[in-house]
Structure 1
Amino acid sequence: MSAAARNDAVGARGRLGRLLAVIRAGLRSNFGLAVLKHRLFKEKKDRWLVPLFALAAAGVLPTLYGIVLLIQSAYLLLKPMGQERALLGAGFLAAQLLILLLGIYYVISAFYFSRDLETLIPLPLRPSEVMLSKFTIIMVNEYLTVAAIVLPVVITYGVMAKEGVGFWVNAVLVYAALPIVPLAVVSVLVVAMMRFINVSRKKDVLILVGSILLIALVLALQIGFGRTAGPGGPEASAKAVAAYFTSPDSLLNRIGSKFPPSVWATKAVAGGFSGAGLANLALLLGSSLALFAGIVVLAEKLFYRGLVGLGETTGKKRRLTSDEMSRRVSSGRRAVAAVFTREWRIMNRTPIFLLNGVLVVIIVPVIFVLMATMGSGKGGSGGGSDLTSILETMTSSNPLFVILAAALFMTLCGSLNGTSSSTFSREGVQFWISRVIPVAPREQAAAKFLHSYLISMLGVVTASVVAAIVLHLKAVHLAAAAVLALMMGVLLTAVGMIIDLARPLLDWTNPQKAIKQNLNVLLAMLADIGILTAAFFAVKGLVRTKLAPNAVLAVLFLGLAALAGLSYRLLLRFADKRYPEIDS
């Protein structure tokens, strides 16, 4: 071996070692394993989380069992028609579309808003090494995200079909490659977008607009998948439909026609070690490696250019007069209003917070509209989809059911977004400002509550509009449902804030971690599910007592009003007690 070849080999090993070291450090920071271990076994502060997670896992088991039964039923339905592989295809496609959608948040946050970039960039690392370390960490997060979708489908299919070793080996390889294609596509779009956005003085606005456009593109693709997932419109003949379902893998090919990687993944897993299985596996892995190599090239050329000046801000360079300065300094603004304004600015100046907060309460009802109208594509009669017809039939039979179901939908759209349960965590290391400003903790908590609750109200309003348009609900039913949802929103917002105030996550380096990887958000979601479940059984008990529908609604409203007032008072008292104890 020549000296040049030896030097190249040594250099390659050195670059690989640096990359692995950066990835290892990033994973430790991402999951906070060292901190969690220290708090559990050294400080013994969070040991109460162990039985809580055990209880949560036990609560998930019935849901998982129901999902497995549903997959088994679908398999038995598709097997006689030779379409059972469509089950795998649907699982892989759903997972990759979810990665495509969530990847927009993860990529923008990890690539451009991580605080550790200030540490990594000065190090002797190539742009591709920094970007690939971030890409790998995102992949690990996506593995955990799609596990609940892919693993039940693959395992149930493999057991019922009595597949051999080739199925399971290929399933592992396909699962490892599954996030690469959608994440690579998102990475290319985001890096290109940031390269041109960064030359503008309105970077944050353009980042937000660009992200919304990317999400709109993903939703448009989902609409296209939904409208092409069948043998044709109503004009399709019975003979054509029969031929469609009797042709092997026709349903699979139709499902994956607009996103071929899902078809390759399905045929690779189902084919095992056969020629077709290995060929599709090679196709999937080859395309993944090609896109991965493209990311490396793109990182070297554009990644750092998109980072330059990203943290800079611009303002109007105008000298204030003495009168203007006096008015601004002594504006007389009340403390709650001032903290409320500061809370809005914290969220608005970071696109990741804004996308995960405000955008979520808007996009969830929009997705519901798309699902409800997805079957009314070409050739439709214009009467909407089957899902719309089913929902309209259900909501026209029982007014009490209409109101309660609409209230639940509004509550989910308004409250389950992580805004309240990350209220204090979003301040990060700047929380010390909240401790030293001359504003009482309860007033700060009241302002933060108002901010989170307004976002919840936005979700309720959006959901109300969707329910009125899609389900054609009566105004009186919508009004009653909205009142219940708003009252429940007070309770859920206060509970989420109490959980975050109890153990705020202030040492994050990536703003995504303050919401998407914040344990408090998960704990608040579990608490919300528990509260909604308790409300369900309470209503069920009231109905069994043969109370009139209006009486049931009145009792429910009074109960929620009492709990809402109590939770808000507890939040303010807890803020007075907890603020001095928090070490930022």
Structure 2
Amino acid sequence: MKNKTLTLTRILLRNGDGFGIKQSNTGVSKFLYLFFFVVLVPVLLFTVTRFQISAYNTLALIGQEGVIVSWALSLVSIFIFFFGIFYIVSSFYFSTDIEGLLHLPLKPLQIIGAKFAVITLYEYGIAFVILAPTLIVYGIKSSQSVLFYLYSAISFILAPIIPLAIGSIIVMVIMRFTNLSRYKDLLKIVGGMVAIFVGLFVNIMTTRILEGTSTGQLEQLLLQGENSLVKITSAVFPSTKWATDALLSSNALNGFLNLLIFVAVSIGAFLLLLYLAELLYFKGVIGLSESSGSGQTKIVDLEREIVKGSVIKTYTLVELKLLFRTPIYFLNCVLINFIFPLLLLLPMLTAGGSEDFSELIAAIQGVENKGMVVAVIFAILIFLGGVNGVTPSTISREGEGLFVKKYLPVSYKDQITAKVLSGLIIGYIGLITTLIAAFIFIKISLSLVVIILLTGWLPILFTSFTGILIDLNNPKLNWVSEQQAVKQNMNVLYNIIIGMIFAVLTVVATLHFKWGFATALVMIIAIYALLNILTGSLVYTKGVKVFAELEG
């Protein structure tokens, strides 16, 4: 008899269509995938490799070269834990395949086991980019034996297990007690938000613990050499210490024992997840797909709802309501605009009143740095605009129902405008959140806050235009669950990369030309105004034409 968990895993992988690679039939799609895997991934691997070589050479001088291994393992664990929670909430509870799976003769542990396996496979991408170059650099530079590479392979395979298992358990416990029939969608969203913020809280507390290490203790560890600093860097995530000690002592008995502990804890975490799935999952997921309300609307009530108004305004509100009322879209497209500003400010929130933090505030408030402050703020806004997944998934989210848009009494141009405006509005929420946080914690001037409020929409509009251009030319329309339209959509990643590139270029240009406050402000506004004109003209000419030719 076949293992149902493995069978379901294969089905989910096959039906999930990966990140849309199978449906890349157009020339644009093939070019984007080719560019990503042939150009961007190698460049990223090369960058990480060069950085780790430099870090190894520097740290080796004080006998702390093992820090690059613990740093890489900790970084991978934190990334997978945080971003995995978004994926876990979407996959375990909000995907449209849940209702079908509940009617099959499957146990909770089989459903969770299969979904967990699929998520783990996708998270290996993050692990590979960071761990592979790091472990190879350390292995070659320190002339490690074959045993080190064997331990490295095992550590790589197990790296996502504990972070994802912890995230999954947090999500299941929270969703078990938020699944109430009344206000179902609201509680689903609140439950997902609580799970995400619990994950953030864990990271903040971990960082605070590390911040508690005194300068004297750090100096003592540095003087000891022999990778003594690894004790601190490997304490960022619970499982990192065992994997780090196993790799750094691969030729000793201590390394083998730590590897056994790491393997045992990873297996134990997975088994605990399956055990809790049997107790909690069905009680938390049953009823999530049921619709609430009577489903009947009185004619009188319908007439009250019908009012005359702007087509673009009405359609924009429809787009926004869909984003806010669909849990998966809210968690991945809307909530991210609140989460990323918080992530950017985490070091400052944990630094408190430290001397370094005071020096940073003084530097920001210095007259000579005003131009760079403007550039950095705009760079953050460009990056946040790129991270905003509204427009790079706006066509994909229509799915096979895209054909309905052909019959609406709304022009393609107006439909595109409404989609762009929805992305701009959500992005502007992120702008306001970032500015409030910056005003409170970084003490930027009120005048600068007002200026950014008036002009900060320019970079957000630019990334909204690039996002919809990408999605128009490379839509992911064939999906079976809403999470695939967002979480497994490469278009979102492409727009993030565009945001990162222009964010870096903005800062580099300001540094290179040594722009002051006024010059930086005028030049950045002028550049992004011009970019908006160029990308906007593409959207409303070629974009409209492509939209008209698309079929759901």
TM-score by length of 1: 0.85
> What residue in structure 2 maps to residue 379 of structure 1?
none
Q: Structure 1: how far apart are the matches of 2:358 and 2:381?
A: 17
Contact 2:361/2:442 (8 A) holds in 1: yes
Q: CA, structure 1 residues 415+245, in 2 after alignment: closer, same or farther (shift >3 Å)? A: same
* CA positional deviation for 1:258: 6.4
> What residue in structure 2 maps to residue 254 of structure 1?
232
> What residue in structure 1 maps to residue 9 of structure 2?
23
> What residue in structure 2 maps to residue 49 of structure 1?
32
Q: Structure 1: how far apart are the matches of 2:237 and 2:519?
A: 52
Q: What whole-Å deviation, never above 9, does each CA across 1:496-533 have from its counterpart, x for those lacking one?
A: 11211222212222322222221212232333345456
* CA positional deviation for 1:244: 7.0
Amino acid across the alignment from 1:499: I
* CA positional deviation for 1:265: 0.7
Structure 2 SS opposite 1:228 = helix
* CA positional deviation for 1:287: 1.3
Structure 2 SS opposite 1:96 = helix
Contact 1:501/1:578 (8 A) holds in 2: yes
Q: CA, structure 1 residues 537+145, in 2 after alignment: closer, same or farther (shift >3 Å)? A: closer
Between stretches 86-95 and 568-577, larger displacement belongs to 568-577
Contact 1:440/1:576 (8 A) holds in 2: no
Q: What's the % identity of the aligned pairs?
A: 27
User: Aligned to 1:275, which of 253, 272, 294?
Assistant: 253
> What residue in structure 1 maps to residue 76 of structure 2?
95
Q: Structure 1: how far apart are the matches of 2:126 and 2:38?
A: 20
> What residue in structure 2 maps to residue 430 of structure 1?
401
Contact 2:99/2:289 (8 A) holds in 1: no
Q: Structure 2: how far apart are the matches of 1:230 and 1:325?
A: 58
Q: What whole-Å deviation, never above 9, does each CA across 1:119-146 have from its counterpart, x for those lacking one?
A: 4333443332222111100001111123
Structure number with higher relative contact order (C-alpha < 8 Å, ≥ 6 residues apart): 2
User: Aligned to 1:389, which of 329, 346, 359?
Assistant: 359
Q: How does 1:268-347 map to 2 (within 5 A)?
A: 268-315=246-293, 320=298, 323-328=300-305, 330-347=306-323
Q: CA, structure 1 residues 36+89, in 2 after alignment: closer, same or farther (shift >3 Å)? A: closer
Q: What whole-Å deviation, never above 9, does each CA across 1:218-248 have from its counterpart, x for those lacking one?
A: 22222233233367336x58xx842675275
Contact 1:226/1:375 (8 A) holds in 2: no
Contact 1:191/1:303 (8 A) holds in 2: yes
> What residue in structure 2 maps to residue 178 of structure 1?
159
> What residue in structure 1 maps to residue 484 of structure 2?
513
> What residue in structure 2 maps to residue 561 of structure 1?
529
Q: What whole-Å deviation, never above 9, does each CA across 1:463-493 have from its counterpart, x for those lacking one?
A: 2223223332223334444444321221221
> What residue in structure 1 maps to residue 117 of structure 2?
136
Q: Structure 1: how far apart are the matches of 2:221 and 2:80?
A: 34
Q: Structure 1: how far apart are the matches of 2:131 and 2:18?
A: 26
* CA positional deviation for 1:535: 5.2
Contact 1:415/1:492 (8 A) holds in 2: yes
Amino acid across the alignment from 1:121: L
Q: Structure 1: how far apart are the matches of 2:24 and 2:48?
A: 35
Between stretches 99-108 and 409-418, larger displacement belongs to 409-418
Contact 1:92/1:262 (8 A) holds in 2: yes
Q: What whole-Å deviation, never above 9, does each CA across 1:248-303 have from its counterpart, x for those lacking one?
A: 55432333446431100101122225211111111111111122222222333332
User: Aligned to 1:420, which of 376, 391, 399?
Assistant: 391
User: Aligned to 1:113, which of 68, 83, 94?
Assistant: 94
* CA positional deviation for 1:54: 5.9
Q: CA, structure 1 residues 80+523, in 2 after alignment: closer, same or farther (shift >3 Å)? A: closer
Q: CA, structure 1 residues 553+291, in 2 after alignment: closer, same or farther (shift >3 Å)? A: closer
Q: Structure 2: how far apart are the matches of 1:579 and 1:132?
A: 39
Structure 1 SS opposite 2:351 = coil
Q: Structure 2: how far apart are the matches of 1:317 and 1:533?
A: 50
Q: Structure 1: how far apart are the matches of 2:72 and 2:31?
A: 35
Q: Structure 2: how far apart are the matches of 1:530 and 1:22?
A: 39
Contact 1:441/1:575 (8 A) holds in 2: no
> What residue in structure 2 maps to residue 406 of structure 1?
377
Amino acid across the alignment from 1:56: V
Q: CA, structure 1 residues 324+19, in 2 after alignment: closer, same or farther (shift >3 Å)? A: closer
Q: Structure 1: how far apart are the matches of 2:524 and 2:325?
A: 39
Structure 2 SS opposite 1:227 = helix
User: Aligned to 2:135, which of 120, 140, 154?
Assistant: 154
User: Aligned to 1:570, which of 538, 546, 549?
Assistant: 538
Q: CA RMSD in A?
A: 3.0
> What residue in structure 1 maps to residue 433 of structure 2?
462
Q: Structure 2: how far apart are the matches of 1:180 and 1:350?
A: 29
> What residue in structure 1 maps to residue 447 of structure 2?
476
Contiguous gaps of at least 5 residues in structure 1: 1-13, 377-381
- Answer with 1 or 2: which has the greater Rg: 1
Structure 1 SS opposite 2:214 = coil
Q: Structure 2: how far apart are the matches of 1:507 and 1:318?
A: 31
Amino acid across the alignment from 1:567: T
Query: Are 2:550 and 1:579 aligned?
Result: no
* CA positional deviation for 1:375: 3.1
Structure 1 SS opposite 2:166 = helix
Amino acid across the alignment from 1:129: Q
Q: CA, structure 1 residues 55+206, in 2 after alignment: closer, same or farther (shift >3 Å)? A: same
> What residue in structure 2 maps to residue 10 of structure 1?
none
Q: How does 1:501-540 map to 2 (within 5 A)?
A: 501-532=472-503
Contact 1:104/1:215 (8 A) holds in 2: yes
> What residue in structure 2 maps to residue 3 of structure 1?
none
Q: Structure 1: how far apart are the matches of 2:471 and 2:383?
A: 19
Q: CA, structure 1 residues 429+306, in 2 after alignment: closer, same or farther (shift >3 Å)? A: farther
Q: Structure 2: how far apart are the matches of 1:506 and 1:38?
A: 9
User: Aligned to 2:103, which of 107, 122, 130?
Assistant: 122
TM-score by length of 2: 0.90
Contact 2:211/2:350 (8 A) holds in 1: no
Query: Are 2:337 and 1:369 aligned?
Result: no
Q: CA, structure 1 residues 90+563, in 2 after alignment: closer, same or farther (shift >3 Å)? A: closer
Q: Structure 2: how far apart are the matches of 1:250 and 1:230?
A: 17
> What residue in structure 2 maps to residue 6 of structure 1?
none
Q: Structure 2: how far apart are the matches of 1:514 and 1:56?
A: 24
> What residue in structure 2 maps to residue 221 of structure 1?
202
Query: Are 2:423 and 1:445 aligned?
Result: no
Q: Structure 2: how far apart are the matches of 1:275 and 1:552?
A: 59
Structure 2 SS opposite 1:333 = coil
Contact 1:410/1:482 (8 A) holds in 2: no
Q: Structure 1: how far apart are the matches of 2:150 and 2:88?
A: 29
Query: Are 2:518 and 1:550 aligned?
Result: yes
Q: Structure 2: how far apart are the matches of 1:563 and 1:435?
A: 30
Between stretches 145-154 and 44-53, larger displacement belongs to 44-53
Q: Structure 2: how far apart are the matches of 1:489 and 1:315?
A: 38
* CA positional deviation for 1:394: 5.7
Contact 1:404/1:481 (8 A) holds in 2: no
Q: What whole-Å deviation, never above 9, does each CA across 1:530-572 have from its counterpart, x for those lacking one?
A: 545665676678x38xx87635543442342233234334323
Structure 1 SS opposite 2:177 = helix
Contact 1:340/1:451 (8 A) holds in 2: yes
Contiguous gaps of at least 5 residues in structure 2: none
Q: Structure 2: how far apart are the matches of 1:241 and 1:49?
A: 48
Between stretches 357-366 and 468-477, larger displacement belongs to 468-477
